[in-house]
Amino acid sequence: MENRLTIEYLAGFFDGEGTFYIGKQYSRNGKEYPHATIMLSQSGDRGLEILSEIQKKWGGFIYEHLKAGQHKATKSAYKLYWNKQEGVALIKELFPHLILKQEEAKIVLTYLQRKD
């Protein structure tokens, strides 16, 4: 399957199933700060398989966020996240191919590239 994974395929996947988002998180002392998220979610064995193939080619970290049977879930659910460095590179590669989520990607990219 890895040979079939193109940047165009991944852009379509992000347009349909992906997340580019800047939200709020809180430190242990309660201080609020912005946090960027670049993520794909899928469930079940096939979902984990495609996320793993994407991870092999474009990096990121897979996290099982819901186990089968938990909260009435019929199958496990997984998220593939990218950190700041990998996320910047990924968005730059995806950007010309995104359609629905190009504006969200641009906002997250601008935030990640800011100079503090």
Alpha-carbon distances of 5 from 42, 50, 83, 85, 114, rounded to whole Å: 16, 9, 21, 21, 30
CA distance 43 to 72: 13
Residue 6: predicted pLDDT: 95
50 token code pair: 């495609």
Residues forming beta bridges with residue 41, ordered by sequence position: 79
Residue 4: predicted pLDDT: 82
CA distance 78 to 62: 7
Residue 73: predicted pLDDT: 59
* The domain made up of 2-73+86-112 is a member of CATH 3.20.20.70: no
- How does pLDDT run along the chain (116 residues), one tens digit per residue? 557 899 999 999 999 999 999 999 888 898 998 889 999 999 989 999 999 999 999 999 999 887 766 566 568 889 999 999 999 999 999 999 999 999 999 999 999 998 76
